[in-house]
Structure 1
Amino acid sequence: MEIPRWEDLPLDKSGPPLNAWGLYGKDDQLGRVNLIDNVAVKRGIAAVTEGIRINLNMPVTLKGVHPQRQDATHFVMLRPQCNDDYVAFNTQGSTQWDGLKHYGYLDWPESGTHTCYNGTTLKKASMISNPHLGIQNLVSHPISTRAHLLDIPRYLERKGLPPLQQFFGKTGVSLEVLQGCTADCGIQFAPGDVLCLRVGHTEALLALPSDEVKEMRHCCEDRGYLEYQGVQPTEQVMKWHWENGFAAVVTDSPAYERMPFPAKDLSLHAVFLAGWGMPIGELFDLRELAETCDRLKKWTFMFTSMPLLIPGGVASPPNAQAIL
């Protein structure tokens, strides 16, 4: 299906700004993942030239990854003739997909409600008995397609530009930097591709002493919000993502856009998840991928992800890999 013009948004004129509601039908539960058709999958397969497989997941049990979410619990149960595992975790506490039930437009309509993709209320989406928009849709229609890495820290270093600030006082990754890195790597996008954006958060987080990790958690609790690096949440940045036809986006930060979010409705979380139905991957481990891409001077690859099959689930570890 041809992607409508940016100027045609919102498609549902009675809905919130920049929505694409109804593009794939009023009962659609896949959103932009519909763009991953057989042609997109074959493009991904064609991108494999080296046979190198790279893990993109951080441990589910890693401590202190997200100050606002509880750490995982893991213990082994010794039984007479075997061992069993018990793991309890927040599905967004480490590497994750934000599914379409996760985030809605704030106060749309102006009645104190939050509205998710295709007009489903956040309250309705929260019901376990209602699997609509659940993460199980990314199992029945897996995100297996071609992907591209924009390694922003290395790009800035090559161009002699100031490095990104990770935690406080950051300005965000601008449209100019996104376009410049794309051109510098010779990347050509097509509808159904996945965009992987490295800002260097994983390295910065794992390098922090434990006392500073605790300090960040306390700071978050005091302020009520986090400060992390990500793309600038401007309409021009949104337009660039829409017109390039990404099926999903991935980053190594806790949020694809810089945090805290804008005070108004038009955060990327609202537009991407609730407006377009485009999953957001967060806290991916892009370190080995970035090193390998830089060594090979190859930033395009096959991307595969098979989330947990949780009917009605909000989010899931991605179980993702890159194949170069």
Structure 2
Amino acid sequence: MSSSPDIPPFSSLPLIKPGPPYNAWGLYGPDDELGRLNLITPEAIKRGKDTITEGIAINLNLPMSFMPVHPSRKGLSHEIKCSGHSNDDEVSFNTQSSTQWDGFRHYPYQNYPEKGQYRFYGGMTLEEASDKSVIKHGIHNFIRKPITSQAHLLDIPLYLSRHSLPPLDPHSNRSSIDHSTLLACAEEFGVHILPGDILVVRTGWTEGTIDLSKAKREELRGREVNGSCGVAHSEEVLRWHWEKRIAAVVSDCPAYESWPSLSPLSNHQVFLGGWGMPIGELFDLRELAQKCEELGRWTFFFTSMVLNVVGGIASPPNAQAIL
């Protein structure tokens, strides 16, 4: 769609009744594959462009060789092929082994419409989403509508430090960022979220993990419950994200929300399966946070261009912030 549609109030969700909780299926038409990316209008992109005042571009991607959080995900394999007079290289990796976008075929509503069944965005079944010949809702749609817009950083560790509040525990799902903290942090940093903007939440997970010894990181990966901090799940949090008309969310932790979710209905289910809102995970926000604090501003231009894999599930973001 070329223009952002009218967004119904949160109280009108779910739009498809009966349907899974808080779903917005059909809002952008029966054949929609862009979800909340429909909110990124030319006006939103130009608004983001206008935030560029310093000419500073900042990388937001961890190395592809970053140790995967989930042991079942394959890390980077890189080989150089020498022909005797020139070189090629070959790479292989799980698209969610390092910094990543979760696409709409990654995580569905769980146990809906009944136990043992699952529904992705728009009602897609697990069988459809797992079929390589089915390309609907593939990550290639993020090429058709690149995730490029004005963005805002909520630097939670900085906010907590300023107010002498306890820091987040990077590796506990009971260490979460509630609705009131999101609001207070946005107010403190002068963040004004507009329709089609991208929300970037820093938890400090990267620093709390990357500085650990390799043995300690291996130990964390091997835990039965590989927990992490993140945004809390609550109806207030869902309502705020909906009413702010945020197009996509990003964080430096493994799931954006605290994970595993302490609620049977996780934010993943609603954001991806219900609204079609991309979730960015494991972004490297260290340099961005430092520069934002130095400049005293937390709004910037965000660009991302995923791998053009038709029918793909997820992708490295190839993302940058420009101030």
Q: What corresponds to 1:81 in structure 2? A: 85
The answer (yes or no) to whether the contact 2:233–2:263 under 8 Å persists in 1 is no
Instruction: Give the SS at the match of 1:312.
Output: coil
Q: Distance in 2 between matches of 1:165 and 1:176?
A: 18
Q: What corresponds to 2:235 in structure 1? A: 235
Percentage identity across paired residues of the two chains: 51
The answer (yes or no) to whether the contact 1:73–1:87 under 8 Å persists in 2 is yes
In the alignment, residue 227 of structure 1 is paired with which amino acid?
G
**What TM-score results when the alignment is normalised by the length of structure 2?**
0.96
- Cα deviation, residue 26, structure 1: 1.4
Q: Distance in 2 between matches of 1:64 and 1:34?
A: 31
The answer (yes or no) to whether the contact 1:174–1:232 under 8 Å persists in 2 is yes
The answer (yes or no) to whether the contact 1:61–1:74 under 8 Å persists in 2 is no
Between stretches 282-291 and 110-119, larger displacement belongs to: 110-119
The answer (yes or no) to whether the contact 2:47–2:149 under 8 Å persists in 1 is yes
**CA gap 1:196/1:310 in 2 versus in 1, 3 angstroms:** same
- Unaligned 5+ residue runs, structure 2? none
Q: Distance in 2 between matches of 1:52 and 1:238?
A: 33
Instruction: Give the SS at the match of 2:151.
Output: strand
Matched, 1:32 2:31: no
Instruction: Give the SS at the match of 1:249.
Output: strand
- Cα deviation, residue 63, structure 1: 2.5
In the alignment, residue 236 of structure 1 is paired with which amino acid?
E
Matched, 1:304 2:299: no
**What TM-score results when the alignment is normalised by the length of structure 1?**
0.96
The answer (yes or no) to whether the contact 2:99–2:284 under 8 Å persists in 1 is yes
Q: Distance in 2 between matches of 1:231 and 1:63?
A: 23
- Cα deviation, residue 200, structure 1: 0.4
- Cα deviation, residue 68, structure 1: 4.2
In the alignment, residue 283 of structure 2 is paired with which amino acid?
F
Q: Deviations over 1:109-136 (max 9, x none)?
A: 1152110001011220111111100000
Matched, 1:255 2:255: yes
Q: What corresponds to 1:274 in structure 2? A: 273
Report matched runs for 1:137-148 at 5 Å.
Answer: 137-148=141-152
Q: Deviations over 1:218-245 (max 9, x none)?
A: 21xxx2x320010111111111111111
Which of 43, 59, 67 matches 2:63?
Answer: 59
Instruction: Give the SS at the match of 2:24.
Output: coil
Q: Distance in 2 between matches of 1:65 and 1:51?
A: 34
Which of 179, 182, 205 matches 2:209?
Answer: 205
Report matched runs for 1:5-24 at 5 Å.
Answer: 5-24=9-28
The answer (yes or no) to whether the contact 1:71–1:93 under 8 Å persists in 2 is yes
- Cα deviation, residue 82, structure 1: 1.0
Instruction: Give the SS at the match of 1:29.
Output: coil
Q: Distance in 2 between matches of 1:27 and 1:77?
A: 43
Which of 152, 155, 159 matches 1:151?
Answer: 155
Report matched runs for 1:215-230 at 5 Å.
Answer: 215-219=219-223, 223=224, 225-230=225-230
Instruction: Give the SS at the match of 2:118.
Output: coil
Q: What corresponds to 2:127 in structure 1? A: 123
Q: Deviations over 1:10-56 (max 9, x none)?
A: 01112101000000011100000000011111111111111110000
Q: Distance in 2 between matches of 1:258 and 1:168?
A: 8
The root-mean-square deviation of aligned C-alpha atoms, in Å, is: 1.1
- Cα deviation, residue 162, structure 1: 0.8
Q: What corresponds to 1:185 in structure 2? A: 189
Q: Distance in 1 between matches of 2:169 and 2:67?
A: 22
Q: What corresponds to 1:110 in structure 2? A: 114
Q: Deviations over 1:34-91 (max 9, x none)?
A: 0001111111111111111000001112234444422211111111221111111000
Q: Distance in 1 between matches of 2:238 and 2:220?
A: 29
Matched, 1:286 2:290: no
- Unaligned 5+ residue runs, structure 1? none
Q: Provide the aligned length of Structure 1 versus Structure 2.
A: 319
